[in-house]
Amino acid sequence: MDVEQRIKNLRNQLRYHNYCYYVLNDPIVSDAEYDALMDELRALEAAHPELVTPDSPTQRVGAEPAEGFVKVTHPAPILSLDKGTSGEEIRAWWERVSKFLPPDAPPLAWVVEPKLDGLTVVLHYEDGLFVLGATRGNGYVGEDVTTNLRTVRALPLRIPVGNPWGFPKPQGFRRVPHRLIVRGEAIMLIADFEALNRQQAEAEGKLFANPRNATAGSLRQLDPRVTAARPISLLCYAIVEAEGPALSSSASLTVNSAGGPMPSTQWETLAYLRELGFPVSEHVARFESLDEVIVYCEGWIERRDTAPYELDGLVIKVDDLATRVALGVVGRAPRGAVAFKFPGREATTKVLDIGVNVGRTGALTPFAYLEPV
């Protein structure tokens, strides 16, 4: 086997092992075996720099520190969601929304997903290659954090993630559109966040208040090497654009001339994203009655601490994408989706001490030291 073919094989194996680890949650090699493959690839690319490509697993880190972040206009606005905190409020939401249903709407179904408490990111792919990643910003304009997102191992630099041993693709596999824009959430698993704060404490560094702040602060570093050292994860949940012009945030996807019809439902969208190699939450469910949706959501209130990541609720979406488009938008919220917010946490604690901050103008602001709960 010549060097070029060996490099190609190593890249395919590393991509597939990332897929097994981050998408399937079923790693098939040890960390030591993975590191050995990566070390061999680095050595071969160092000896043959003309064979290095932007999508190589070795190229996740390498950019020099940036002077600032470039603004990026999103192809479709990232809207907010209306919310409900009880089954009664969810039923009231649907009673209002159902008046806008088109007469030819298919039988209704709903998909429920975790409302992740992280940083929304928009991922652009051209001919299967990751070319741009941006933060949510104000929903219309975000910041270009491509070099930092490249360091997130859960993010595929090239799609679809192929199988290095040539196993056949799943039946009905759709080819990748010329241009694909995916929306997801950068997060930090609770266990990873706690480990990061322990490292920060040992190094006498600043502790992060919560996983969301740690994720946002890590992705907005001017030096991507700092981001690479942080345990950022990723979960994807929507396709914004495929092939043609930009679509609304709740749009139905049209036929992809490059490889057959694109998903027409949210449930199919999640399966397709997984098929391409994007990590998708395993805590998703589909129901054909709103009563089932509400029972499921209320059940999560008591078990929200079982999730490996922070979530402050669930998102309920009309499954059929065309129906969601037809329902339209009111204000800055799509009618076809709503957030089920968990009630705030309550606990009793003890005041340990009172301190006072002195502002620049001499104003005194008291604050309390509380016993951790």
pLDDT tens figures, 186-237: 999 999 999 999 999 999 888 999 999 999 999 999 899 999 999 999 999 9
Quick check: helix, strand or coil at residue 318? strand
- Hey, what domains does the chain have and what are their CATH numbers? 1-59 (1.10.287.610), 61-341 (3.30.470.30)
Low-confidence residues in the chain, pLDDT < 70? 62-66, 162-175, 244-261, 373
User: What DSSP line would sit under 98-135, residue for residue?
Assistant: GGG--TTPPPP-EEEEEEE-SEEEEEEEETTEEEEEEE
pTM check: above 0.85: no
Answer left, alpha or beta for residue 277, where phi above 0 means left and psi between -120 and 50 means alpha.
Answer: left
List of residues 6+ apart from 257 with CB closer than 8 A: 243
pLDDT (0 to 100) of residue 19: 84
Strands (E), the chain: 71-73, 82-84, 110-116, 119-126, 129-135, 141-143, 179-187, 233-242, 255-256, 260-261, 285-287, 311-318, 329-330, 333-334, 337-341, 351-358, 364-370
Structure tokens given for 6: 């060996």
Q: State residue 174's pLDDT score.
A: 58
Q: What integer pLDDT is reported at residue 259 of this predicted model?
A: 46
Is 115 catalytic? The answer is yes
CA gyration radius for the chain? Answer: 23
Of 71, 83, 99, 115, catalytic: 115
For the chain, the residue count is: 373
Q: Name residue 160's amino acid.
A: P
Please give the pLDDT value at position 253.
Answer: 40
pLDDT for 272: 92
